[in-house]
Amino acid sequence: MQRRVALSSRNLRSQDCFDPHPYSTAQEAAVASPALTTPTRDGKKAKRLNFLEDFLIKHPSAVKRHRQSLKKRARNIETKSRLRTLIKRARQAIETKNQESAASQLRAVDKALGKAVSKGIIKGNTASRWLSRLSRSASQVSTGG
């Protein structure tokens, strides 16, 4: 993400050759290349990722592959965030000792974990471990232990 500056005899200093921050704000970056920006946690498009200009990638398949990776990254971030929210809700339901709510939340977590595993977002053993811990804590609450 560096902007090249034409070299001449009067600007040969290293800081003049590459500008590490070509855009000062997220709005300028989003306006500059709206198609190839990635979302941040707060939903704003902050990072400017344009391989054609920044890294001189010219091959169409490389550009397409990068575009696809950005879409997958955004989808993975969204799915992982949703998983964390569901797990947090399940823990809250378990802490309140509401068995029906906890059971429904566990079913929702199980379904979401299964989908995430099938799409390759998280690994199967990780999903099993998370679900096992939730189920164990839910059963301890239901038995009163």
* Chain segment 35-68, per-residue pLDDT in tens: 555 556 666 666 555 655 566 678 999 989 999 9
Contact yes or no for 40/46 (Cβ under 8 A): yes
Residue 1: band (very low, low, confident or very high) from pLDDT cuts 50, 70, 90 = very low
- 9 Cα distance to chain centroid: 44
Token pair, residue 88, equals 């947090």
Average pLDDT of the chain, as a whole number: 78
Q: How far apart are CA 41 and CA 45, in angstroms?
A: 9
CA 6 – CA 123 distance, rounded (Å): 47
Domain-wise residue ranges, the chain = 1-58, 83-145
- Distance CA(55)–CA(125), nearest Å, equals 38
**Residue 72: strand, helix, or coil:** helix
- Alpha-carbon distance of 84 to 12, in angstroms, equals 50
Label residue 56 exposed, middle or buried (CB < 10 Å: 0-12, 13-18, 19+). Answer: exposed
- Tallying the residues shown for the chain, one arrives at 145
Q: pLDDT tens-digit profile of 4-22?
A: 545 444 444 444 444 444 5
Give the containing element (helix H, strand E) for 77.
Answer: helix 60-95
pLDDT reported for residue 17: 46
Query: Which amino acid is residue 100, in one-letter code?
Result: E
Given pLDDT bands bounded at 50, 70 and 90, which one contains residue 132?
very high
For position 134, what pLDDT does the model report?
Answer: 95
